[in-house]
Amino acid sequence: MQRIRLRYTKRGRLRFTSHRDFQRAFERALRRSEVPMAYSAGFTPHPKVSYANAAPTGTGSEAEFLEIALTEARDPAVLRELLDASMPVGLDITDAVEARTPSLADRLTASVWEMRLDRVAAEDARAAVEAFLAAGTVEVQRRAKNGMRSFDARAAVVDLKVLDPQPDRSGDAPCAILRLVVRHETPAVRPDDVLSGLRAVADLAPPVPAAVTRLAQGLFDEESGTVTDPLAPDREAAPAVSIPADRAAVATAPDGAVSA
């Protein structure tokens, strides 16, 4: 059995696609591409697809991940192209590697988010961010299956800052762009929870819903303060491709030279 790990996106209007809608679209793409999927046992077998930490409905993403199990080996690059061609535009399969290391989910420990707050001045957003970061705890509420739940939205936030205004937006209405780095803890702190925290500590309430996009997801590097690519260890573990001696000689021969 071969396992392939894929990165995919949710762009544009497709950010409103629910996780269940994506599952249905992806399973159709598997059938169209004639992928030799492994199936679970039992009365209702289903393709062996493992989804990891999907973004909430309504948020865009450049870094969603899943893993599939195959009964026959396939070239990950070719498989990616076939699946991407069978998916709706906006749900794009952007990367594929063969799984050669332990659990992918264990490497998804943090996310980088961008939050665009239209009609909010950068100065107001910066003051709210400073108040949020200075607070020891920021209690927020979220509706759960069992009713409203209170939790701290501050502890999981590694970094939160307001980016400098973009030059091409200088003549437009105010727009504050926030960059958020948050650890994946329990309970999970989502971008909308941080926005609720900004409202709680500084009364920052954007007049229109924020446009939220996940830019990266992976292991958090404590030294650099960055979120690393979770597929990189699988690429590094891949065996080196050897080049036959006769091909290597041709590849290295000077222009115009003729090999014996």
Per-residue model confidence as pLDDT tens digits over 91-121: 999 999 999 998 999 999 999 999 999 999 9
| Long-range interactions of 42-50: CB distance < 8 A, separation 24+ | 49/23, 50/104, 50/105
pLDDT at 167: 59
Give helix 122-134 / helix 191-202 axis angle, nearest 10°: 90
pLDDT at 252: 44
Burial class (CB in 10 A: 0-12, 13-18, 19+), 43: exposed
Taking 70 as the pLDDT cut, the residues of the chain under it are 166-171, 241-260
d(CA 49, CA 26): 10
d(CA 59, CA 215): 11
pLDDT at 42: 83
* pLDDT tens readout for residues 127-171: 999 999 999 999 999 887 788 889 999 999 999 999 987 655 555
pLDDT at 148: 87
pLDDT at 36: 96
* pTM listed for this prediction: 0.86
Torsion of CA 243, 247, 248, 253, to 10 degrees: -160
pLDDT at 213: 98
